[in-house]
Amino acid sequence: MPLLSRKATCSFHGQDSSYFLGWQEYEKNPYDEVKNPKGIIQMGLAENQLSFDLLESWMAKNPGAAGFERDGQSIFRELALFQDYHGLPAFKKALVDFMAEIRGNKVTFDPNHIVLTAGATSANETLMFCLAEQGDAFLLPTPYYPGFDRDLKWRTGVEIVPIHCTSSNRFQITASALEVAYQQAQKVKLRVKGVLVTNPSNPLGTTMTRDELDLLINFIADKEIHLISDEIYSGTVFSSPAFVSIMEVLKDRNPKNTEVWDRVHVVYSLSKDLGLPGFRVGVIYSNDSIIVAAATKMSSFGLVSSQTQYLLSAMLSDKKFTKEYISKNHKRLQKRQSKLVSGLEKASIGCLKSNAGLFCWVDMRHLLSSNTFEAEMELWKRIVYDVKLNISPGSSCHCTEPGWFRVCFADMSEDTLKLAMQRLKSFVSSTTINNRSHQDLKNSRRKLRTEWVFGLSFLSLNDREPD
């Protein structure tokens, strides 16, 4: 009898993709301006460091929050002892207010309907446990965040069926793509329990249109399934069109006290908008009280510390700070994204037009040696090992078209981004020259071969005997 479980000994985890392998290579040889200037620059990490100074400034002005004080008195003992894992009421109230503010206060959230989790990873997995059994399936539009292969599947046993989207319409979801994915799941005897989308999209950096959101609600109503909208990048929308939450569309349709109202769920986190992934603050929001109750029970396996909740409740309750932070963060993201796009253009590389997120969906199809995913991996390896940039290949995001890459821009200084673009430009120039030289050589050989054949033909004609 084996001593270990099948889960402990299984080889699949979802972290064996090129997305995570690129991280491993970066960690072996990380770029440092002084200590390792020829190292690998991390452009595969969707982390927001552009507004960290605003957080540090608030902390300096509010030492009592970080020192766990209330009215000048220490509450360390109170926070250090056991707290109900439902969460601190003050924090839940401040958090739902912040979520509403990000959405332009077009929707409000009931603090009694949120569940705190240790990050969005935990929130998404918890919803899988609440909504599906092992062997059931969720439909996800491609390209999608590579970590979902780990977060949604590994412990739950839930399957992912792709909704194939293409560049022909900027990777937007269509009714036909939804239906094809649903039918494909049924063909392999998978019971579809729902659709999961990221809005704004990771890795596209685009917001979903209201038409797409309406389409999704109509689809889940027709199929009698669930919809999860992962909105962890909702506060990173820096240009038009504005972000539209699934809850805003749901409210406008006024389906309260209907099954659809209870089958739409939102995931949120402070990892991207506030740039606090290390704090591990995630949220599940659902109108279904049964889901809220079940998820709350499960959240005991991944709590948010009372100290974290206390500090952030003070920060998010400061309305002057949150308003200033949201405004400045948007401006900084837009400026930095523009610098990446400009740098890419100078390297003769284009990207999908985006208005959100911490990354761009970059088109390098013209640099492939062939229109294959094998060629994409060859290009990716050259960029990681030779150019020393860690970017994420589209195949790791299950993109159906080879040659697309996710490139992050908010986890580094402006000087580091400039260096990264210089490296990429030099690489593209040398690749273009090499390709041109190779093509010139082929053309030269073709010309010589043509001249040689013509010469033989001419000699053959002259050697013929007269009629």
Q: How many CA atoms lie within 13 A of 109 on its CB side?
A: 28
End-to-end CA separation in angstroms for the chain: 94
Contact 389, 424 (CB under 8 A): yes
Contact 167, 362 (CB under 8 A): no
Structure tokens belonging to residue 423? 């490296």
Confirm whether 230 is a catalytic residue: yes
**In the 8-state DSSP scheme, what is residue 66?**
H
With tokens 């409740």, the residue in question is: 313
Three-class SS of residue 345?
helix
Contact 281, 271 (CB under 8 A): yes
CA 294 to CA 258: how far, in whole Å? Answer: 20
- Side chain identity, residue 190: L
Contact 416, 56 (CB under 8 A): no
119 phi-psi bin (left φ>0, alpha ψ -120 to 50, beta other): left
Confirm whether 114 is a catalytic residue: no
CA 292 to CA 287: how far, in whole Å? Answer: 8
Q: Which of 97, 149, 151, 230 is catalytic?
A: 230
Q: How many CA atoms lie within 13 A of 159 on its CB side?
A: 15
Quick count: other Cβ atoms within 10 Å of Cβ 447? 10
CA 239 to CA 173: how far, in whole Å? Answer: 21
197 phi-psi bin (left φ>0, alpha ψ -120 to 50, beta other): beta
Confirm whether 272 is a catalytic residue: yes
Q: Which of 232, 246, 284, 349 is catalytic?
A: 232
Q: Which of 92, 153, 193, 272 is catalytic?
A: 272
Q: Which of 19, 31, 144, 145 is catalytic?
A: 145
Confirm whether 153 is a catalytic residue: no
Chain-centroid distance of CA 1 in Å reads 42
If we measure between CA atoms, which residue out of 55, 23, 56, 61 comes closest to residue 42?
23
CA 393 to CA 177: how far, in whole Å? Answer: 23
Contact 278, 238 (CB under 8 A): no
Q: Which amino acids are annotated catalytic?
A: 145, 230, 232, 272
